[in-house]
């Protein structure tokens, strides 16, 4: 970015610093499918196969700390890979696009910006200050920063949301005029990103569109059983993460590092009460019988599949041998016909020679 943009960002930062301290905290961020599709398309158009990232602006609404990002658009962005402090963000393009979006969707405003990350970079705080200039005046909820992970193979939700927080660092040394360094430390306000819960939400119209879009996506190499197993594994991994989180919370409460929340503990108790008692002998026996039956069906299915495959292999071998055998038989018949023709020719030559000798003897006599 140029010096003018840096100066404008710093001035906007200084002007908005007092307001940010009284601004309400962001409770959560809801990302709609259109934002995910737009960010993915943006990345594949400008940064696929490179180490670059795509940056865009999030549009939507915010109410009582709940940010709802319903739309987005891409912004021209470049950054120097060698010098992290050098980047370019076309804020003129951003302003023009925002004006056109307001003509179509008057209720949507700037609620933050997104990046394909997949991690936070040093320039993100400066980009946040630039985007903050386009937030309407009088807005209580500050803009958020969302990382959209476009990498394939991700099992959890592909979004991670952050908000900017101010931290006071009082350990900065204050230099005296005599060079002795006396006078203690000067308080300095530093900004950093703090994690915010992110959700994937959709309206009814968006759900219908997503269903039609996923209907056209079909991978013939992946079977239905493989999809079911993958879904089971994903569910079990998510359950493990939630159980570990509950354990860490209860441990922190027991050690006094966190205050006990009656609502959270009541929800945990309700979850525990819904779990079946696995120590009942009848239940254990029924589960073992069911498991044995399922394993027997799987074993018989694998055995039948193996027998059918061997049978098909034998049939293919027989058919192949028949084809090769017929070809060799034809060659042998052709060779036999040629040899018979040669013998007949030799016999004809012998007969003609014998007749010629007889005629010559008759003439001599």
Residues 58-112 have pLDDT tens digits of 999 998 889 999 999 999 999 988 887 889 999 899 999 999 999 998 899 999 9
Query: pLDDT tens-digit profile of 255-275?
Result: 998 888 888 899 999 988 888
Note the pLDDT of residue 349.
Answer: 65
Which pLDDT band, with edges at 50, 70 and 90, does 179 fall under?
very low
d(CA 12, CA 135): 11
345 band by pLDDT with thresholds 50, 70 and 90: low
Distance, in Å, from the CA atom of 28 to the CA atom of 235, rounded to the nearest integer, reads: 23
Residue 147 has pLDDT above 90, yes or no: yes
Q: Tell me the per-residue pLDDT of 197-240, one tens digit each, with 9 for 90 and over.
A: 999 998 888 888 888 877 766 666 666 777 788 888 888 888 89
The whole-chain average pLDDT of the chain stands at 81
SS3 track for the chain: CCHHHHHHHHHHHHHHHHHHHHCCCCCEEEECHHHHHHHHHHHHHHCCCCCCCCEEEEEEEEECCEEEEEEEEECCEEECCCCCCCEEECHHHHHHHHHHHHHHCCCCEEEEEEECCCCCCCCHHHHHHHHHCCCCCCCCCCCEEEEECCCCCCCCCCEEEEEEEEEEEEEEECCCCCCCCCCCEEEEEEEEEEEECEEECCCHHHHHHHHHHHHCCCCCCCCHHHHHHHHHHHHHHHHHHHHHHHHHHHHHHHHCCCCCCHHHHHHHHHHHHHCCCCCCHHHHHHHHHHHHHHHHHHHHHHHHHHHHHHHHHHHHHHHHHHHHHHHHHHHHHHHHHHHHHHHHHHHHHHHHHHHHHHHHHHHHC
State residue 209's pLDDT score: 85
């Amino acid at each position: 970015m140029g010096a003018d943009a840096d100066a404008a960002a710093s001035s906007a930062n200084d002007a908005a610093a007092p307001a940010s301290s009284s601004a309400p905290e962001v409770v959560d961020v809801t990302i709609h499918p259109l934002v995910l599709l737009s960010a993915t398309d943006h990345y594949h158009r400008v940064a696929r196969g490179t180490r670059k990232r795509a940056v865009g602006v999030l549009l939507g609404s915010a109410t009582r700390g709940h940010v709802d990002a319903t739309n987005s658009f891409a912004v021209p962005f470049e950054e120097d890979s060698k010098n992290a402090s050098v980047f370019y963000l076309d804020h003129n393009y951003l302003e023009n696009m925002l004006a056109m979006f307001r003509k179509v969707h008057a209720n949507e405003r700037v609620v933050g910006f997104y990046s394909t990350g997949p991690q936070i970079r040093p320039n993100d705080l400066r980009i946040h200050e630039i985007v903050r200039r386009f937030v309407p005046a009088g807005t209580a909820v500050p803009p958020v920063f969302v990382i959209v992970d476009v990498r394939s193979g991700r099992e959890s939700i592909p979004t991670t949301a952050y908000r900017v927080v101010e931290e006071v660092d009082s350990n900065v040394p204050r230099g005296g005029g005599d060079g002795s360094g006396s006078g203690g430390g000067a308080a300095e306000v530093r900004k950093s990103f703090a994690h915010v819960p992110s959700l994937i939400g959709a309206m009814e119209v968006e759900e219908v569109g997503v269903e039609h879009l996923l209907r056209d996506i079909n991978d013939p190499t992946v079977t239905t059983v493989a999809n079911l197993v993958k879904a089971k594994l994903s569910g079990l991994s998510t359950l493990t993460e939630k159980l570990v989180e509950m354990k860490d919370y209860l441990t922190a409460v027991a050690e006094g590092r966190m205050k006990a929340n009656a609502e959270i503990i009541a929800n945990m108790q309700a979850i525990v009460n819904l779990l079946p008692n696995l120590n009942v002998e009848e239940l254990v026996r029924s589960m073992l019988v069911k498991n044995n039956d399922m394993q027997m069906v799987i074993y018989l299915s694998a055995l039948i599949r193996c027998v059918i495959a061997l049978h098909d292999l034998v049939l293919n071998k027989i058919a192949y041998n028949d084809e090769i055998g017929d070809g060799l038989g034809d060659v042998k018949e052709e060779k036999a016909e040629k040899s018979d023709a040669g013998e007949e020719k030799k016999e004809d030559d012998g007969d003609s020679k014998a007749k010629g000798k007889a005629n010559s003897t008759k003439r001599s006599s």
